[in-house]
Amino acid sequence: MTYTYDDVYINNYATVGGPYEKDGPIGPSIDKVYTNLYADEKTWEQAEVKMLSDSIDLVLRKSKKNASDINLLISGDLLNQVTASSYAALSFNIPFFGIYGACSSSVEGMILMSSLIDGKKIKNGIVSVSSHNMSSEKQFRNPTEYGAPKPSTATFTSTGGASVYLSNQKGKIKVESSTIGKVVDMNQTDPFNMGAVMAAAAGDTIYRHLQDMKRTVDDYDLILTGDLGVYGREILIDYMHQEYGIDLGKNYDDSGTMLYDLKKQEEVLAGASGPLCIAMVSFANVFPKLEKGKLKRVLLVATGALFSPTFVYQHKPIYSISHAISLEAIR
Amino acid sequence: MTYTYDDVYINNYATVGGPYEKDGPIGPSIDKVYTNLYADEKTWEQAEVKMLSDSIDLVLRKSKKNASDINLLISGDLLNQVTASSYAALSFNIPFFGIYGACSSSVEGMILMSSLIDGKKIKNGIVSVSSHNMSSEKQFRNPTEYGAPKPSTATFTSTGGASVYLSNQKGKIKVESSTIGKVVDMNQTDPFNMGAVMAAAAGDTIYRHLQDMKRTVDDYDLILTGDLGVYGREILIDYMHQEYGIDLGKNYDDSGTMLYDLKKQEEVLAGASGPLCIAMVSFANVFPKLEKGKLKRVLLVATGALFSPTFVYQHKPIYSISHAISLEAIR
């Protein structure tokens, strides 16, 4: 499902990260950094709530808005029952919708928010996402104290919160069009190889977006997927070539390979993941380039792995989904 | 956040239930019933996926549509990582958004879908929810084999799936207006007393809806909350009176008290809960009355408890939210 927008703009955005994000190449562009994973809270879950809340606070301040000026908050995260989002939402008292698109949540939220603004139901809103390395590891994999070794295809859940303020007020970045993804099954069962799980979903959505908009990859200065990681990125390049005869070319990159220094930060293995990943990379690194006109048109292609530990134990394959949103620099 | 709609209609709906729902007063109106909680699957989680899928299948058939005719599927459930929805979505190959509003998910989904249709982004869509007594008990409370006793304020998670088809094509039920809820904290910590947790959220949303629409409770033939249960229903009546001086009157009821026969089905304690609850009661019992003109205007007020076992263990209060949607009979 692809459609276009008339009057929706990205006016402001804010990112909050942890120690690993601080040490990565995008570190200097992150608005606020905590040097410990607890973010001065007692638990990892409460640290995630704090980082998400901080990012909402920051984007409100940058936008010179009070929470009471905001029509709607849409937020998603990986914690069971999407609790980071719900608990962060309380203190702002903004009408709230929780969403779940796994690591595709940021673009799912931006599509929903942009659609409501463009359809004149609301005038503005904030879309937020968060993830936390330790709260995720604890929930999805092994008790972290085990120190279980992982294969090189495993990715590293990013830590922090990111929020973006969208409105019908003209800004430097226009939301131009979007494509809503479908659930894809590539019969993958390995939770340590999410890149392989999600690459086909990204490929399917990119292909449908280009078809629906009658465009080629050359119409974008940047196609940014996430969070596929080193191996998923290569799988997607191959998949696009073999399945659709499309060469993703030099303007393609994956946010999972950009958040950390893959050579120095060896613990991240195949790269970054988590709902925060593509949000942090695009907000801190890509949006400023759009605002300065260094990039004219960008396609964000967020990818999510749809599964739960329970379904993996029941020998079900891990499904995936990907949503895309096209952003343009306004002169 | 309250706004109105010009051209969105509820054209069709379908419900699928389990043995407890079959034996309740709404049983005869449920479209499809499984007489065992496994629904002929090997696990409760797969049973939930099946029931949700069945309800999508049924609403497609009733609407004489193929899945490929549908612009968007929005679905939510209580399972970790919203897996019932994601796994049901696969076989239909419809563009998909997962949402999480706990037991308020059906109305959250209907508001989002109606907003996208009325904003002319899409022409039609299906909103689905599911819950399952055993998959919920297993996930949120104790291993079911323990047979742990529960207080009388506990509610009983309903089992099944429900789907509604909305479009811009005139039907007998019009989506008239809606109010998006805010997260509410009443400092409640007891997961066995959800009615007390959620009553204030329902009250807040009903009050804001009436204020924004400049209406009184008498402008509705039915105000239907859910899923508060026997005690939550009484708390809401008191709360509306004390907090706002509003008498909910004889046109108020709660779906949690309507799905089961509270006298004969003693195991349900304070009544029904789960995302399915208000969806099943309204689709199977209220929508037919709107179609026949027996009810002219109905306010559905879905309530959700926002928490996770992890946050309860960390001594955090259980938050809640409630979203409302106003439906009108079309002559």
Q: For residue B82, what is the nearest residue in chain A, using CA coordinates?
A: A100
Question: Would you state the pLDDT for residue B89?
Answer: 97
Nearest neighbour of A100 by CB, restricted to B45, B99, B316? B99
Question: Would you state the pLDDT for residue A168?
Answer: 98
Pairing of strands A297-306, A318-329: antiparallel
Q: For residue A77, what is the nearest residue in chain B, using CA coordinates?
A: B81
**Whose CA is closest to B162, among B110, B96, B224?**
B110
pLDDT less than 70: residues of chain A: 142-143, 146
C-beta neighbour count of B278 within 10 angstroms: 34
Q: What ipTM describes this predicted complex?
A: 0.97
Nearest neighbour of B45 by CB, restricted to A119, A185, A311? A311
Q: For residue B106, what is the nearest residue in chain A, using CA coordinates?
A: A97
* Subunit contact B81:A306, Cβ cutoff 8 A: yes
> A6 in contact with B at a CB cutoff of 8 Å?
no
Q: For residue B205, what is the nearest residue in chain A, using CA coordinates?
A: A95
| DSSP structural state of residue A173 | E
Which of A 27-46 lie inside 8 A of B, CB atoms?
42-43, 45-46
> A95 in contact with B at a CB cutoff of 8 Å?
yes
Residues in chain A within 8 Å Cβ distance of B127 = none
Say if residues A119 and B116 touch (Cβ distance below 8 Å): yes
* Domains along the sequence of chain B with CATH: 2-167 (3.40.47.40), 173-329 (3.40.47.40)
- What is the least distance, in Å, from the CA of B72 to any CA of chain A? 7
Torsional sign, CA A67, A70, A302, A198? positive
Place of tokens 């708390």: B235
Q: Rounded to an integer, what distance in angstroms lies between the CA atom of residue B268 and that of residue B230? A: 11
* Subunit contact B321:A108, Cβ cutoff 8 A: no
* Subunit contact A121:B120, Cβ cutoff 8 A: no
Q: What is the pLDDT of residues A18-53, one digit of tens each?
A: 999 999 999 999 999 999 999 999 999 999 999 999
| Total beta-carbon pairs less than 8 A apart between chain A and chain B | 167
Question: Would you state the pLDDT for residue A190?
Answer: 83
Question: Would you state the pLDDT for residue A88?
Answer: 96
Residues in chain A within 8 Å Cβ distance of B116 = 112, 115-116, 119
Q: Rounded to an integer, what distance in angstroms lies between the CA atom of residue B242 and that of residue A60? A: 34
A233: left (phi over 0), alpha (psi -120 to 50) or beta: alpha
Quickly list DSSP for A54-101. HHHHHHHHHTT--GGG-S-EEEE-SSGGGHHHHHHHHTTT--EEEB-B
Residues in chain A within 8 Å Cβ distance of B46 = 314
Question: Would you state the pLDDT for residue B137?
Answer: 86
> A292 in contact with B at a CB cutoff of 8 Å?
no
Residues in chain A within 8 Å Cβ distance of B90 = 183-185, 319
Q: Rounded to an integer, what distance in angstroms lies between the CA atom of residue A197 and that of residue A195? A: 5
Pairing of strands B173-179, B160-167: unpaired
* Subunit contact B81:A180, Cβ cutoff 8 A: no
Tens place of pLDDT per residue across chain B (331 aa) = 999 999 999 999 999 999 999 999 999 999 999 999 999 999 999 999 999 999 999 999 999 999 999 999 999 999 999 999 999 999 999 999 999 999 999 999 999 999 999 999 999 999 999 999 999 988 887 667 767 778 888 899 999 999 999 999 999 999 999 999 999 998 888 878 888 889 999 999 999 999 999 999 999 999 999 999 999 999 999 999 999 999 998 999 999 999 999 999 988 999 999 999 999 999 999 999 999 999 999 999 999 999 888 998 899 999 999 999 999 999 7
Place of tokens 């979903």: A201
Which of B 174-193 lie inside 8 A of A, CB atoms?
180-185
* Subunit contact A310:B80, Cβ cutoff 8 A: yes
> A168 in contact with B at a CB cutoff of 8 Å?
no
Say if residues A90 and B319 touch (Cβ distance below 8 Å): yes
> B4 in contact with A at a CB cutoff of 8 Å?
no
